[in-house]
Amino acid sequence: MATVRLQNITKRFGDLIALDDINLDIRDEEFFVLLGQTGAGKTTTLRCIAGLDKPEEGTIYLDDVSVNDKTPAERDVAFVFQSHILYPHLSVYENMAFPLHPRKLSEEEIDRRVKDIAQMLHIEHLLMRTPNQLSGGETQRVGLGRAMVRRPQVFLMDEPISNLDAKLRTEMRAEIRWRQRELGTTTFYVTHDQIEAMSMADRIAVLEAGRIQQLGTPAEIYNHPINLFVAGFIGNPSMNCIPCDISSTDGELRLTLASHLGRDSSVIIQNSETAKVVNDSNPDRDLIFGTHAEDVIVSHQSIANAFRAEVYSSEPLGAETIVELTLGTDTSGAHTILKACTAPNFEAEIGQHLYVTFVPERMHFFDKNSGEAIL
């Protein structure tokens, strides 16, 4: 199908730098996700690729050919929007066929393409309906089908399922990913939802304030976040990130969390590699400790190398229970919370004290000032 390359792309709106020197390479047939919060520059990136916005600096390539001077129609990309605008006076069939008429295809070819895609998306029974007779999920499928009948080189998808309810979003995530694999069309998908990104992407680029923070596979970004922003954005729940102190006693490194709160929330760093990296870092550096909720070990009974913490809340979710533990409160009364992902039948009462420790090989540390990961 096609590759997409963004080279040194900068886009401004007045004094606002929407995209700041963006460099990305999207591979042929890849499902690539650009993940970021509202206002990060995701839609602007798509609009630049589509030719709807023109960057002030940089070059956009489709199959290694610059398209900076090409019109949107000449770029052969299909834009799938957050809200699918279907022509209300046309049937589903006519809406799907509409983008094919300017291509001067025969009526037989148009009919074949529409019906093939309708069958693929399981919407054959909707072809004679009008848009006001469709549910939200059906509307999304029709909008997707209208893009697919064109057989573009690249799909550009701008949060196409964010307006659906949770159940439909889950269904459509699987649907879109399955159809993309079936067609083999290079897809550039943007979303603010990290669950969508993690479950759908071959690779993810995390965007913040117009800059790429990290690029990698879902597993790489989840297991090795490059900075505090990525660590706090990826995962559900996101990574615990808590100020810490490191001290050395009898040749062992002790990690103490939120010592300013006056509680002894400390453990020995038992993994030798982790201990070496932390020990070799600048001793004057202020650190943030990071750990995923599933790497927090909690117990009703005393366990080795653990501290006690009070249960702040417990949230049974069926497949798991998320337990929030308070490490203390600051002068304003705000709690410092540590989240643990426990077994579905784990029982924890608010106010109860549990023993807490961490998976030694899964500790993360960040520079508090720069936010950059040191481990």
Regarding whether 79 and 33 lie in a shared domain, the answer is yes
**pLDDT tier, 1 (very low <50, low <70, confident <90, very high otherwise):** low
Q: Which of 60-69, 277-286, 294-303, 341-350 has the lowest mean pLDDT?
A: 277-286
Regarding whether 244 and 165 lie in a shared domain, the answer is no
Mean pLDDT within 85-103: 92
CATH number of the domain encompassing residue 62:
3.40.50.300
Tell whether 353 is covered by a domain: yes
Could you identify the residue written with the tokens 């309906």? 129
Tell whether 373 is covered by a domain: no
> For 254-273, what is each residue's pLDDT tens digit?
999 998 888 889 999 999 99
Domain count, the chain: 2
Tell whether 292 is covered by a domain: yes
Q: What is the average pLDDT value for the chain, to the nearest integer?
A: 94
> For 293-350, what is each residue's pLDDT tens digit?
999 999 999 999 999 999 999 999 999 999 999 999 988 889 999 999 999 999 999 9
Mean pLDDT within 181-197: 95
Last residue of a domain, one of 212, 233, 254: 233
CATH number of the domain encompassing residue 311:
2.40.50.140
Last residue of a domain, one of 211, 233, 255: 233
pTM for this entry = 0.92
The beta strands (E) that lie in 54-196 are given as 57-62, 65-66, 77-80, 154-158, 186-191
Regarding whether 219 and 105 lie in a shared domain, the answer is yes
Q: Which residues contact 127 (CB under 8 A, 6 or more apart)?
A: 91, 92, 93, 96, 114, 115, 118
Query: How far is residue 262 CA from its own chain's centroid?
Result: 36
Regarding whether 270 and 217 lie in a shared domain, the answer is no
Residue 136: domain span: 4-233
Tell whether 375 is covered by a domain: no
- Nearest to residue 225, comparing CAs of 87, 35, 51? 35
Regarding whether 151 and 12 lie in a shared domain, the answer is yes
**pLDDT tier, 103 (very low <50, low <70, confident <90, very high otherwise):** confident
Tell whether 245 is covered by a domain: yes
Mean pLDDT within 189-206: 97
Distance CA 72, CA 49 (A): 9
Instruction: Give, in order, the Cα–Cα distances in Å from 328 to each of 124, 262, 333, 349.
Output: 59, 8, 9, 17
Tell whether 133 is covered by a domain: yes
Regarding whether 285 and 208 lie in a shared domain, the answer is no
Mean pLDDT within 97-109: 91
Regarding whether 346 and 218 lie in a shared domain, the answer is no
Last residue of a domain, one of 197, 217, 233: 233
